[in-house]
Chains A and B, each alone.
Chain A
Amino acid sequence: MGSLRKASLALLLVAAATGAPAAQVSCYREEVRLAEGGAARVRLTLDVTGTPGEVVTVPFGHAGVTEAGLEVTGATGARITCLDGGPRVLAFTLAAVSPGPVTVRFDAPAFLDWKKVKAFGNRFFSYGLVNATPARLGRYEGTFLLPPGQVVGAVVETVPAESESGPRRPYEIVRVDGLDGVRLTDDGAAPGDTVHATFRFKPPRRPSLFLLALVGLAGLYLIRFSDLVRRDT
């Protein structure tokens, strides 16, 4: 495995040094489906243009995932590595005949510490991706979906950040297949750039006792303040 890593890194360096047209990732789509318990099912969909057999390296933001768990279509020899000891990247070789985008599916068993519950029953979803490759990444689109029965409480922070004068928000609240979540987008990430989202989520339950209290309050008010509309007042 070590020699494979060295070979891919060498290939990359050779491509950069000779100025050969390296493969380009025009779109990096990532869907994270979180399950109760904190595990996640992840699907990466990468629109890549390059020559068959070319080694492509893309950022990879998931800790605790090994190559053995990767299900790849459209490419071969997928491996997770670190360039110069930096953040993790995913390297793969483009298939001889490229039928479409490269997809990578895998499970991230410990995506989130489910036991960590904050005030108001909130859990925090936090995910970031650093472009640790030497190439510019095209459009990034990360869709982070919650388990059934959970809703987005509020988006705490994103990178790119929401601009006070910009026309577009970098994120939107989405519902995909009945699952609530957040979609983060970025027009492009240069080497070293980061995309990141932190949001809180919780079950949408409102205690029915609260509703009863509201009804009770309204009723009590109507009785106690009926003198407001009596004829003699």
Chain B
Amino acid sequence: MSVAAAPATPESAGLADLLDLSKTKFSAEPKTDLSTSERWMRYLGLPLGLAVFAAILFMPPPAGLTAAGQAALASFLLALVWWITEPVPTFVTSLTLIVLLVFLDVQPSSDVLGVLGLDVIWLNVMAFVLSSILIKTNLAKRLALSLVTRWGSGAVATLLAFVVLQLVLAPLIPATAARSVISLPILLVVAAVYGATAEKPNNFGRNLFLQNLMGINIFSSGFMTGSTANLIALSFLAGMAGKKIYYTDWMFANLPVALCGMALAWWVGPKVLFPIEPENRKPRIAGGMATFRTELAKLGPLSAAEKKGAAIFGVVILLWVTDRFHAGWFGFEISAVLAAVVGGILAFLPRVGILKWSEADIPWNLMLFSAGAYAGGLALDGTGAARWVIGKVFAFADFGPGVSFWPVYMAVIAINLVSHYFFTSKTMRTIIMIPFVIGVAQELGWNPVWLALPSAFTIDWVVGLPISGKPNVIFLTTGQYSVLDNVKYGAAMTVAGILLFWAFGFTWFRLLGVTPGFGS
């Protein structure tokens, strides 16, 4: 999943060259310099994927699962193994998945191929158009240099600055994809400052992008309006269990979990998973911070192009931030995707705009990867395979009468957090999981809030796979990290999330009455 070719490297070029991301090409060949373990994974990945595929496809049809669901599950797991081990480029795996879904009679070709028209793909395309605006006008460079000169004396401090940035953005801009698009160009420039390019990724880049991915998703869980899925979960609680939860209830209870989660993510990435190489712990520029200040000073006051770029981006952000007022203003709501399309139109308008088509580098290979991945995920949802897996897990857990609350709580939290590996849509996952959980609570005679609200708190922790959420798809297209890197960081944070929600369930949630109080 590598994307290539920033021509400059910190060793060979000056800061100006390094920050000139207009020379970066995203649509390039995958990297070939593999470590021994990567080569073994690549070698064994293909037969392993085929073995998993055959094992599921040829097993006797399980009760409760359609033939299409069985084939969808087999195809998706084959693709998952191949995306992680990369025996073939990830977009080839996605294309294979698309073909399998049709050839195995999972879904008609019109449905499968139609995924390329989904909003997430459009948003991906527009994300690169909008990023191109900031890069071409030097706005991204200015923002990144300002950030680095103020916060970025070291890699870890820079990473922390972005954690804070995502925390600030989360309540302002509910759409996670929009936050990803805003962050993307700045992240690209800051990564370059620390020597991380698509051609030569390093651990700073891995941490930077993956941590922002975590930040965007996990901070969404801190606010009731952080995602549509949160609101749907609450509507289930209101509709099925008659419990109303307020904005502040949600925030007081779960923002601390999100903060602890991100503190852990900030620590576990650079300290455990991807230790930053000593040479990348400081900006790799001769002259140190003074060079950045000089370069920032050289940019001078905002140029006309920058102002124009800022205005276009400002229009898009304004539309994102004010989405709840659109119906009143315009009579309809402008979605995050269409707001980005409006920005794209302005950017390409002759004389008014600032971009030519050739200046918007859109990595189509990765769009195809995203489309295939989404097709697989949607097939799991549409055929009922994801629901079947979740049902099997709950059946396996077998919460019989007389069972005490805490083992059930622990199991439900773990199932909820792990379940995100089987879904591409938080909404779909919410629709399936939350009623299940409310049903379990009601069957056992407990207040549904005790299980369902903590479950709802976990919905936004979609960190495990590049297809688990829109930010994940968008950031993977930078080529700064691989699918395997995402899987490692995501698995670590999923485990961390389980432990955190257990710990908060026993303590903080009890204090607030989210789980059975200390007196009960």
Check: B314 CB closer than 8 A to any chain A CB. Answer: no
Q: How many angstroms between the C-alpha atoms of A48 and B64 in the bound complex?
A: 31
Check: B21 CB closer than 8 A to any chain A CB. Answer: no
Within 8 A of B (CB), among A168-183: 168-169, 172-175, 180
Q: Which residues of B contact A219 (CB under 8 A)?
A: 47
B40 touches A229 (CB 8 A): yes
Check: B313 CB closer than 8 A to any chain A CB. Answer: no
B64 touches A175 (CB 8 A): yes
Q: Which residues of A contact B63 (CB under 8 A)?
A: 173-175, 180
Q: How far is the CB of B50 from chain A (nearest CB, A)?
A: 5
Check: A3 CB closer than 8 A to any chain B CB. Answer: no
Check: A217 CB closer than 8 A to any chain B CB. Answer: yes
A233 touches B66 (CB 8 A): no
A173's nearest neighbour on chain B, judged by CB, is B64
Q: Which residues of B contact A217 (CB under 8 A)?
A: 50
Q: How far is the CB of B468 from chain A (nearest CB, A)?
A: 20
Q: How many angstroms between the C-alpha atoms of A182 and B438 in the bound complex?
A: 25
Q: Mark A153-187, 1 if CB is under 8 A from B, else 0.
A: 11100000000111111001111000010000000
Within 8 A of A (CB), among B49-106: 50-51, 53-54, 57-58, 60-61, 63-69, 87, 105-106
B67 touches A218 (CB 8 A): no
Q: A165-B431, A167-B431 are in contact. Are A228 and B47 (CB under 8 A)?
A: no
Q: How many angstroms between the C-alpha atoms of A167 and B68 in the bound complex?
A: 22
Q: How many angstroms between the C-alpha atoms of A125 and B434 in the bound complex?
A: 32
Q: Which residues of B contact A32 (CB under 8 A)?
A: none
Q: How many angstroms between the C-alpha atoms of A169 and B65 in the bound complex?
A: 14
Within 8 A of B (CB), among A209-224: 211, 214-215, 217-219, 221-222
Q: Which residues of A contact B66 (CB under 8 A)?
A: 151-155, 173
How many interface residues does B have (CB within 8 Å)? 39
Q: How many angstroms between the C-alpha atoms of A219 and B54 in the bound complex?
A: 14
Query: Total A-B residue pairs with C-beta atoms closer than 8 Å?
Result: 88
Q: How far is the CB of A72 from chain B (nearest CB, A)?
A: 32
Q: How many angstroms between the C-alpha atoms of A137 and B383 in the bound complex?
A: 30
Q: A167-B435, A204-B61 are in contact. Are A151 and B67 (CB under 8 A)?
A: yes
Which one of A122, A226, A233 contacts B105 once the chains associate, using CB atoms below 8 Å?
Answer: A122
Q: How far is the CB of B445 from chain A (nearest CB, A)?
A: 20
Q: How many angstroms between the C-alpha atoms of A180 and B66 in the bound complex?
A: 9
Check: B310 CB closer than 8 A to any chain A CB. Answer: no
B78's nearest neighbour on chain A, judged by CB, is A214
Which one of A204, A211, A222 contacts B67 once the chains associate, using CB atoms below 8 Å?
Answer: A204
A218 touches B47 (CB 8 A): yes
Which one of B47, B54, B67, B438 contacts A154 once the chains associate, using CB atoms below 8 Å?
Answer: B67
Q: Which residues of B contact A116 (CB under 8 A)?
A: none
Q: Which residues of A contact B68 (CB under 8 A)?
A: 153-154
B54 touches A211 (CB 8 A): yes
Check: B393 CB closer than 8 A to any chain A CB. Answer: no
Q: How many angstroms between the C-alpha atoms of A60 and B232 in the bound complex?
A: 38
Q: How far is the CB of A74 from chain B (nearest CB, A)?
A: 32
Check: B243 CB closer than 8 A to any chain A CB. Answer: no
Which one of B46, B64, B107, B232 contacts A218 once the chains associate, using CB atoms below 8 Å?
Answer: B46
B105 touches A153 (CB 8 A): yes
Within 8 A of A (CB), among B171-222: none
Q: Which residues of B contact A164 (CB under 8 A)?
A: 431
Q: A153-B66, A167-B434, A221-B46 are in contact. Are A214 and B105 (CB under 8 A)?
A: no
Q: How many angstroms between the C-alpha atoms of A119 and B66 in the bound complex?
A: 17
Which one of B40, B58, B384 contacts A211 once the chains associate, using CB atoms below 8 Å?
Answer: B58
B47 touches A174 (CB 8 A): no
Report whether over half of chain A's contact residues are helix, strand or loop; otherwise say mixed: mixed
How many interface residues does A have (CB within 8 Å)? 35
Q: How far is the CB of B38 from chain A (nearest CB, A)?
A: 10
Check: B25 CB closer than 8 A to any chain A CB. Answer: no
B42 touches A214 (CB 8 A): no
B391's nearest neighbour on chain A, judged by CB, is A172
Q: Which residues of A contact B364 (CB under 8 A)?
A: none
Q: Mark B235-260, 1 if CB is under 8 A from A, else 0.
A: 11001100000000000000000000
B39 touches A229 (CB 8 A): yes
A228 touches B53 (CB 8 A): no
Which one of B50, B67, B384, B388 contacts A214 once the chains associate, using CB atoms below 8 Å?
Answer: B50
Q: Which residues of A contact B105 (CB under 8 A)?
A: 119-120, 122, 153-154, 202
B384's nearest neighbour on chain A, judged by CB, is A173
Q: How many angstroms between the C-alpha atoms of A229 and B41 in the bound complex?
A: 9
Q: Which residues of A contact B53 (CB under 8 A)?
A: 214
Q: Which residues of A contact B57 (CB under 8 A)?
A: 206
B431 touches A229 (CB 8 A): no
Q: Which residues of A contact B434 (CB under 8 A)?
A: 167
Q: Which residues of A contact B406 (CB under 8 A)?
A: none
Q: How many angstroms between the C-alpha atoms of A167 and B105 in the bound complex?
A: 27
Q: Which residues of A contact B50 (CB under 8 A)?
A: 214-215, 217-218
Q: Mark B329-340, 1 if CB is under 8 A from A, else 0.
A: 000000000000
B232 touches A153 (CB 8 A): no
Which one of A151, A167, A175, A204 contacts B240 once the chains associate, using CB atoms below 8 Å?
Answer: A167
Q: How many angstroms between the C-alpha atoms of A165 and B106 in the bound complex?
A: 23
Which one of A119, A173, A222 contacts B47 once the chains associate, using CB atoms below 8 Å?
Answer: A222
Q: How far is the CB of B375 from chain A (nearest CB, A)?
A: 15
Q: Which residues of A contact B51 (CB under 8 A)?
A: 218
Q: How many angstroms between the C-alpha atoms of A221 and B387 in the bound complex?
A: 34
Check: B43 CB closer than 8 A to any chain A CB. Answer: yes
Q: How many angstroms between the C-alpha atoms of A219 and B46 in the bound complex?
A: 10
Q: Which residues of A contact B239 (CB under 8 A)?
A: 167
Within 8 A of A (CB), among B369-405: 383-384, 387-388
Q: How many angstroms between the C-alpha atoms of A153 and B384 in the bound complex?
A: 11
Q: How far is the CB of A153 from chain B (nearest CB, A)?
A: 5
B43 touches A151 (CB 8 A): no
Q: Which residues of A contact B107 (CB under 8 A)?
A: 154
Q: Which residues of B contact A202 (CB under 8 A)?
A: 67, 105
A228 touches B42 (CB 8 A): yes
Q: How many angstroms between the C-alpha atoms of A122 and B431 in the bound complex?
A: 30
Q: How far is the CB of B303 from chain A (nearest CB, A)?
A: 47
A167 touches B67 (CB 8 A): no
Q: How far is the CB of B456 from chain A (nearest CB, A)?
A: 13
Q: How many angstroms between the C-alpha atoms of A164 and B425 in the bound complex?
A: 12
A-B contact pairs, 18 of them (CB 8 A): A153-B68, A153-B105, A154-B68, A154-B69, A154-B106, A154-B383, A155-B66, A164-B431, A167-B236, A202-B105, A214-B50, A215-B50, A217-B50, A218-B46, A218-B50, A221-B47, A228-B39, A229-B39
Given contacts A154-B105, A165-B232, 5 further A-B contacts (CB under 8 A): A168-B435, A218-B47, A221-B46, A228-B40, A229-B40
Q: Chain B residues in contact with chain A, CB under 8 A?
A: 36, 39-40, 42-43, 46-47, 50-51, 53-54, 57-58, 60-61, 63-69, 87, 105-107, 232, 235-236, 239-240, 383-384, 387-388, 431, 434-435, 438
